[in-house]
Structure formats: C-alpha cells, structure tokens
C-alpha cells in the first residue's frame, strides 16, 4: 500500500497476535508492547510461500481509551508512529534503523516538551530513559540520521544535482 502513499490503519484486539498471524516470527510479535501500534513495513513470507508487500499498521482496538486515560502520552506515541509512516509512505526506507531512530526521537521530543509545559504530566521510567537518550528530540540525532533517506525513484536525479 505504501506505493500509493497510503498506509491503512487496522484496529485489532491484540496487535501481537495479528502480527503473528500475518507472518511475523512469534518471538518478534509477542515481544511487542501490546499498547503500541504494530507497523508492518516489510515483505513478509508467510506459508504457503505467499509474499505480502506494502505497509500497514495494526492499532490496538483500545487506542481511543488510551487517549482518554493519557492523552499526552498517546499523542507522543502517535507522533513517533507518524514519523515512521511518513518515511515508509514516501518510499524512504533504505536504512531501517534511521527510520526507527527518527520515530523514537520524535516520541521523546513530544514527551519532553509536554513534561516541560505541563508539570503535572508524569513520565514513566521508560519514557524518562528515552528522553535521556534523545534530550533534544530529533535534533539529538546526527545530521545523516535526521534526514529522511531518498527513495529509489530519486536516485537517478540525486546524482544529477
């Protein structure tokens, strides 16, 4: 689906089980935090030798409840996901690690800003560690990690400029 720049969001009861059913290894699928969306952004080879292409995201069915309980943390989570989906939806996925880093740094940036603006907003220990890792959000990354990768259609034009 990412070829058209559209990435469907699919609500499911259990994102881990859905990812496993889609073809992810059980260790990868079941080690995922069930409160987080699960982006499917690569070719998955599932039996019987079926290749599934494109990108999609399994979102927890209770995402709206999460937003009601903790709107700032949910907004930060979605900002990080949106960063990753922007790269995948535009075909900029040559360096998978950079996409994940940009998503995490975006998540940390929103959390850090919220914690400074709203003193009553309590961070979890894992959120505090993430902010320590990316104290300036996206600008904590090196310049080449901050820049989205070019997609395959841009390579011939890249060398001309």
Averaged pLDDT, 69-78: 92
For 75-88, the pLDDT digits (tens) are 999 999 888 888 77
pLDDT of 161 higher than 50: no
pLDDT of 42 higher than 70: no
pLDDT of 116 higher than 70: yes
* Tokens encoding 140: 């904590």
Residue in this structure with the two tokens 């070719």, named with its chain if needed? 43
Flag the least confident range among 21-30, 43-52, 124-133. 43-52
Cα 126 vs. chain centroid, distance in angstroms? 17
Has residue 106 been placed in a domain?
yes
Has residue 85 been placed in a domain?
yes
pLDDT of 54 higher than 70: no
pLDDT of 152 higher than 50: no
Phi, psi of 56, deg, nearest 5: -160, 165
Has residue 135 been placed in a domain?
yes
Are 41 and 15 contained in the same domain?
Answer: yes
What is the chain's alpha carbon radius of gyration, rounded to the nearest angstrom? 17
Cα 95 vs. chain centroid, distance in angstroms? 14
Q: Which residues span the domain enclosing 34?
A: 1-61
Are 86 and 115 contained in the same domain?
Answer: yes
Of 32, 1, 27, residue with least CA distance to 14? 32
Is pLDDT larger for residue 51 or for residue 63? 63
Strand 9-12 relative to strand 56-60, pairing: parallel
What is d(CA 91, CA 3) in angstroms, rounded to the nearest whole number?
A: 7
* Tokens encoding 84: 């990753």
Are 122 and 75 contained in the same domain?
Answer: yes
Has residue 91 been placed in a domain?
yes
Looking at beta carbons, which pairs linking 74-83 to residues 24 or more positions away fall under 8 Å?
A: 75/110, 75/114, 76/107, 76/110, 76/111, 76/114, 77/36, 77/37, 77/107, 78/37, 79/106, 79/107, 79/109, 79/110, 80/104, 80/106, 80/107, 80/110, 81/37, 81/39, 81/57, 82/106
**Model confidence, pTM:** 0.75
Domains: count for the chain: 2
């Amino acid at each position: 689906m990412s070829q058209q720049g559209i990435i469907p969001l699919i609500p499911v009861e259990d994102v881990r089980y859905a990812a496993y059913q889609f073809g992810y290894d059980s260790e990868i699928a079941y080690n995922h935090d069930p409160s987080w969306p699960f982006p499917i952004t690569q070719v998955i080879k599932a039996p019987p030798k079926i290749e599934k292409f494109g990108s999609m995201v399994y979102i927890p069915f209770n995402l709206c409840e999460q937003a009601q309980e903790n709107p700032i943390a949910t907004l930060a989570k979605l900002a990080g996901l949106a960063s990753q989906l922007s790269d995948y939806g535009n075909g900029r996925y040559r360096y998978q690690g950079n996409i994940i880093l940009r998503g995490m740094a975006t998540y940390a940036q929103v959390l850090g800003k919220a914690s400074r603006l709203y003193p009553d907003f309590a961070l979890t220990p894992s959120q505090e560690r993430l902010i320590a890792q990316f104290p300036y959000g996206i600008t904590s990354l090196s310049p080449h990690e901050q820049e989205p990768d070019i997609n395959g259609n841009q390579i011939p034009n890249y060398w001309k400029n």
